[in-house]
Structure 1
Amino acid sequence: MNSKLPMTDVLIIGAGLAGMSAALSLPPQLRVTLLSKSRFEECASAWAQGGIAAVLDAGDSVAKHVQDTLIAGAGLCDEAAVRQILEQAPAAMAWLQGHGVPFSCNADGSLHLTREGGHGQRRIAHAADRTGHAVHTALLQACQSRSNLTLLENTAALALLQDAGGPCTGACTGAWLRMADGSEQQLQARHTILATGGMGQIYPYTTNPGTATGDGLAMAWRAGCRLQDLEFMQFHPTALQINGKAAGLVSEALRGEGALLKLPNGERFMLRHDERAELAPRDIVARAIWAEMAEHGLAYVHLDISHQSRSWLEQHFPGVMALCAAHGIDIASQPIPVAPCAHYACGGIQADVDGRTEVPQLYAIGEVARTGLHGANRLASNSLLECVVMGRAAAQHIAGQPLDSSYKLHSNYRNPDNGFSGKSSSNIEQELRQLMLTHVGIVRSNQGLARAAEQLALWRAQLQDIDAALRNQLDVCTLMVHAALQRQQSVGAHCNSDYPTREMLAA
């Protein structure tokens, strides 16, 4: 049964760090509705281990942070956006501390800063190795205490509403929702913010939560937004491998603190691939591990930090210790079996730093957005920073807009009825994920991408009336494949074996 919820001033779709930062930064007189597709704790932000990149040390500078970001992004960053976001890092950190986030500190009370791959300085503020959990917990408590915020769990957005202008011309006026009880309702909003995260679930192995299926990207595209840089899917180099599956993320900060990548015979290999060795940007490390696994017929390589004392590891990496211990691995005395898996979408909805998209009254913030910060490859720990900066900036822009309510609704959504004949959505999803891993994984080829495009076109032609989640995944995968075919060089996270020379493009 379709019905209508009470109108809200601001609808925020996604309750990770970006969405909550926006919600908490909006004026208290605005009615705000914050949606979580699953439980509030199930989001990429809450699972993040590493930290937040910020220039907080006297020996560091924004210029150095900008340069490290541009190098990691292989020349495809928007330097103006990079500088605009990185300059706001100290203010973002102060805002988070003001909300009670318990960052790790030195004995003198100053923030403890660690280093991660691609960074030339120690500039990663963290809460042990559970930064995302610490940040998410503090901000969720703050959201729950705000009387102007309505929080809805297990509520999925199916499509965006637009005024009578329709897709590409009409302002966004809210969204169709699938509520926790399975009913479908429309929620009108004066402003809508997409903070839906990434799309790692289009691959069989990912660090992303089950909700990361690219919904925000697909909805925005159908509404008329441009998507950019979708070919740059970043694979995290070190996911814990147990029985051939990714069992959790092993923080990049381990390599920042001296962990070494080795073959099972104990031989280090990173220096064969990059002079920065274990501290090379993650796209280089992921490809190096992938190449060594292929050459030696391995299911994983080893990450070894056993040279550190047990007490030191318990202080700095309690989360990784607990994760590995749950699978019978003592990282104080044993190496960790790791392999790459899908992690972060560097591209997304074209948006300004304050989240504005090409569709009026529609904003995109966090991983779902493409500001130009990440370019062809995200620099470690810049993503949580982007979430806070964009969330606060979008809220500030919305606060300055008049509350206009004069529009006529249009929806680009229709209620699905019949499924695909002969196959369940779950079967198609499994086949889709394997297709993406095989042909649009760490290393691609023109032939493989063409095969993927052909199969996706066939599915989309056959699946006329399907569940919104599967439709979104098919749309996003199709857009990613076409973006990869158009990128006729190997650069950053996009590695095409038909173009073996890696390129550093002019910004």
Structure 2
Amino acid sequence: MWDALVIGTGIAGSTTAYLLAKQGFSVLALTKTNDPLESNTYYAQGGIVYKGPGDSPELLMQDILQAGAGIVNPEAARIVATEAQVAVNEVLIEAFGIDFSRNDTGGFDLTEEGAHSVRRILHALDSTGKTIQEAAISALKKIGIEIRSSYHVIDIITLDHHTRYPQRMYLPPTVLGVYAYNQSTGKVEKLLAKNVILATGGMGQLYLHTTNPRGATGDGYAMAYRAGARLINMEYTQFHPTTLFHPKADNFLISEAVRGEGAVLINKYGEAFMGRYHPQKDLAPRDIVTRAILSEMYATQEPCVYLDIARLGKEKIQSRFPTIYRKCLDYRIDITVDPVPVVPAYHFSCGGVYTDMEGRTTIQRLYAVGEVACTGLHGANRLASTSLLEGVVFGRRIALFLGRTRESWYEQPYQDIPEWKETGTEELDPALIYQDWALLKNMMWNYVGAVRTKKRLKRALVDLKNLREDVEDFYRDARISPEIIELRNAVQTGLIVAQHAWTNRESRGAHYRLDSEEER
């Protein structure tokens, strides 16, 4: 048994695991990928909020509140704004040893992004996430944390759902561990822990177009829901305005930092259009930029708009954005000369598993951190470059909280937890898996996408409920496998998002209802 079991090895999970281990906790980190580097964090280009000239916690908090469209949890915003610099210094710079990009004077080369008042974004050229993830995993290995790859968590073990303990109905809902499928052995293992930390990332693969990697299938939301945890703000699904529009590009993200450095969105006529939609023009909040791009696409009958990066100059482009420059060249687009075709894609969930400021969910000993969690920091729309920061700040807070409260832990009836019982015997039908994923992705994109209506959401609820029933039958009958685990989680999470979107009749931030009489 471990003191802490961390599910996910991105920036949030790695921060939590590292700081727990440094306090003497026994820690097991699980990832369903075959390489712990593979995570949403790895693909983050832009950067992480720090502190710039003329900056202050009050100014950062103001920007977070402004971007969040009126429903940011002010306590979460205050904590992140006041602890940002300390957390980045302590974890990323000192513990993980990351050397972010520097300017000519030797200081940090801070950049600006949408809806920020000042230049305050730390970066490592345009591959910040890759740099952070490599350093984080290296740090975990260096201090001896056990990382198990290719482990797919099926469900969270709870006192009331899984134990045979006769007095369980008199005790509060409590987590005791997880059941996880070990892909290398083909067996399901019972992994017991005194604390479980969900750091499973997001749900981008539910959508037809996404910036997220293959593993973002909404696992943490679905597992927490089945365990009985509270989820909030799930309708606030953020779309990134600019991904490369190319049939072979697989929605490669063009970082917001490009616009922060002066790139401009134009339509097919070469007109800079963002001034018609928001005073901050190309640096407006993401939800506004996304809808502006969609409006221009509909008005011009074009499948994309364009990003004029060439105005930055060849030298700056090649030195500041080498990854984007090389990637576009792979598709025969020279961004030092040609406008880049871009379209919006699903990017981030502002909602998630409800937690307090120490990462505690509504189930005892279950914590959540990073994108899967919701402290209310992002409100209805996330401020750029706060996702990596959120993982560091709240991962650190969870570790410190558990360190302070270790003596108050009490014993649980771990002996009453049964081993996993395999019930399914059928082989998976790959045609059904493929078709169910295709149905889900198209439903979410068309009915629960960047623009929603009552009719679309009603259709989504009917279709998703039917799909969930089919997939649950499929899950019960089939032998356990990564494919059925992910599909089951994805469909459940999609239904949760649709239900939250249906219930919320107002338009706010990333939840935009075309037929709403209330818009904020």
TM-score (norm. length: structure 2): 0.91
Q: 1:416 to 1:40 in 2, by over 3 A?
A: farther
Q: Which residue of 2 is the match for residue 137 of structure 1? A: 134
Query: Aligned to 2:119, which of 104, 116, 122?
Result: 122
Once the two structures are superposed, residues 99-127 of structure 1 have per-residue CA deviations (whole angstroms, 9 ceiling, x without a partner) of 21120112222211110001111111111
1:261 aligns with 2:258: no
Q: Distance in 1 between matches of 2:420 and 2:169?
A: 11
Q: Which residue of 2 is the match for residue 77 of structure 1? A: 72
User: 1:51-200 counterparts in 2 under 5 A?
Assistant: 51-54=47-50, 56-95=51-90, 96-98=92-94, 99-147=96-144, 149-163=145-159, 164=163, 165=168, 169-181=172-184, 182-200=186-204
Q: Specify which structure has the higher proportion of helix.
A: 2
Matched-pair contact (CA < 8 Å) for 1:160–1:412: no
Query: Aligned to 2:462, which of 432, 454, 457?
Result: 454
**Secondary structure class of the residue paired with 1:249:** coil
Q: 1:244 to 1:488 in 2, by over 3 A?
A: farther
**Secondary structure class of the residue paired with 1:448:** helix
Matched-pair contact (CA < 8 Å) for 1:43–1:211: yes
User: 1:332-351 counterparts in 2 under 5 A?
Assistant: 332-351=336-355
User: 1:181-220 counterparts in 2 under 5 A?
Assistant: 181=184, 182-220=186-224
Matched-pair contact (CA < 8 Å) for 2:8–2:198: yes
Matched-pair contact (CA < 8 Å) for 1:190–1:404: no
**Secondary structure class of the residue paired with 2:466:** helix
Matched-pair contact (CA < 8 Å) for 2:153–2:178: yes
Q: Distance in 2 between matches of 1:494 and 1:416?
A: 40
Q: Distance in 2 between matches of 1:359 and 1:167?
A: 14
Once the two structures are superposed, residues 188-238 of structure 1 have per-residue CA deviations (whole angstroms, 9 ceiling, x without a partner) of 011100000000110011111111111101111111111001101000000
Matched-pair contact (CA < 8 Å) for 1:223–1:412: no
Q: Distance in 2 between matches of 1:393 and 1:499?
A: 38
Q: Which residue of 1 is the match for residue 438 of structure 2? A: 430
Once the two structures are superposed, residues 162-187 of structure 1 have per-residue CA deviations (whole angstroms, 9 ceiling, x without a partner) of 22448994311111111131221111
Letter of the 1:9 counterpart: D
**Secondary structure class of the residue paired with 2:216:** coil
Letter of the 1:344 counterpart: F
Query: Aligned to 2:5, which of 1, 11, 14?
Result: 11
Q: Distance in 2 between matches of 1:250 and 1:437?
A: 20
Q: Distance in 2 between matches of 1:441 and 1:93?
A: 33
Q: What do you get for the CA RMSD once the two structures are aligned? A: 2.0
Q: Specify which structure has the higher proportion of strand.
A: 1
The range that moved more, 266-275 or 371-380, is 266-275
**Secondary structure class of the residue paired with 2:333:** coil
Q: Distance in 2 between matches of 1:337 and 1:40?
A: 32
Matched-pair contact (CA < 8 Å) for 1:222–1:412: no
**Secondary structure class of the residue paired with 2:293:** helix
Matched-pair contact (CA < 8 Å) for 1:178–1:185: yes
C-alpha displacement of 1:160: 0.4
Matched-pair contact (CA < 8 Å) for 1:167–1:224: no
Query: Aligned to 2:315, which of 311, 320, 333?
Result: 311
**Secondary structure class of the residue paired with 1:363:** strand
C-alpha displacement of 1:410: 5.1
User: 1:16-27 counterparts in 2 under 5 A?
Assistant: 16-27=10-21
Q: Which residue of 2 is the match for residue 275 of structure 1? A: 279
User: 1:344-423 counterparts in 2 under 5 A?
Assistant: 344-400=348-404, 401-402=406-407, 404-408=410-414, 409=416, 415=422, 417=424, 418=426
C-alpha displacement of 1:58: 4.0
**Secondary structure class of the residue paired with 2:311:** coil
**Secondary structure class of the residue paired with 1:274:** coil
TM-score (norm. length: structure 1): 0.94
Matched-pair contact (CA < 8 Å) for 2:251–2:345: no
Q: Which residue of 2 is the match for residue 50 of structure 1? A: 46
Q: 1:48 to 1:186 in 2, by over 3 A?
A: same
Once the two structures are superposed, residues 126-147 of structure 1 have per-residue CA deviations (whole angstroms, 9 ceiling, x without a partner) of 1111111111111111111112
Matched-pair contact (CA < 8 Å) for 2:10–2:133: yes
Query: Aligned to 2:237, which of 228, 233, 239?
Result: 233
C-alpha displacement of 1:414: 6.3
C-alpha displacement of 1:471: 1.5
Q: Distance in 1 between matches of 2:169 and 2:446?
A: 37
Matched-pair contact (CA < 8 Å) for 2:260–2:283: yes
Matched-pair contact (CA < 8 Å) for 1:168–1:223: no
Q: Which residue of 2 is the match for residue 4 of structure 1? A: none
Once the two structures are superposed, residues 381-440 of structure 1 have per-residue CA deviations (whole angstroms, 9 ceiling, x without a partner) of 011100001111111112232354432455898646258999612210111110111100
Q: Which residue of 2 is the match for residue 444 of structure 1? A: 452
Once the two structures are superposed, residues 231-279 of structure 1 have per-residue CA deviations (whole angstroms, 9 ceiling, x without a partner) of 0100000011102864311000001011000012211111111121101
Q: 1:25 to 1:349 in 2, by over 3 A?
A: same
Runs of at least 5 residues in structure 1 that lack an aligned partner in the other structure? 1-6
**Secondary structure class of the residue paired with 1:271:** helix
**Secondary structure class of the residue paired with 1:139:** helix
The range that moved more, 397-406 or 195-204, is 397-406
Q: Which residue of 1 is the match for residue 480 of structure 2? A: none
Q: Distance in 2 between matches of 1:462 and 1:166?
A: 31
C-alpha displacement of 1:337: 0.8
User: 1:319-334 counterparts in 2 under 5 A?
Assistant: 319-334=323-338
C-alpha displacement of 1:9: 1.6
1:478 aligns with 2:484: no
Matched-pair contact (CA < 8 Å) for 1:195–1:368: yes
Letter of the 1:457 counterpart: K
1:498 aligns with 2:498: no
Q: 1:26 to 1:501 in 2, by over 3 A?
A: same
Matched-pair contact (CA < 8 Å) for 1:160–1:413: no
Matched-pair contact (CA < 8 Å) for 1:172–1:362: yes
Letter of the 2:465 counterpart: A
